[in-house]
Amino acid sequence: MHKYLIHAAFGWLTFAGTMHFLADVVSQHLRGVRAPSAETTLYYGLHSSFALGQVVLGALGLFLARRAPELLRAPLVLGVAITACVAWLLIAVFFIEYWQPKANAALTLALMLAFALTARQ
Question: What's the chain's average pLDDT?
Answer: 92
In the chain, pLDDT over 90 holds for what percent of residues? 78
Q: How many separate domains does the chain show? A: 1
Alpha-carbon 11 to chain mean position: 10
| pLDDT value, residue 121 | 59
Give per-residue pLDDT as tens, 53-112.
999 999 999 999 999 988 888 899 899 999 999 999 999 999 998 899 999 999 999 999
Structure confidence at residue 65 (pLDDT): 92
78 to 12, 16, 64, 89, 106: CA distances (angstroms): 16, 20, 12, 17, 17
Q: For residue 44, what are the domain limits?
A: 2-117
pTM of the model: 0.88
How far from chain centre, in Å, is Cα 12? 8
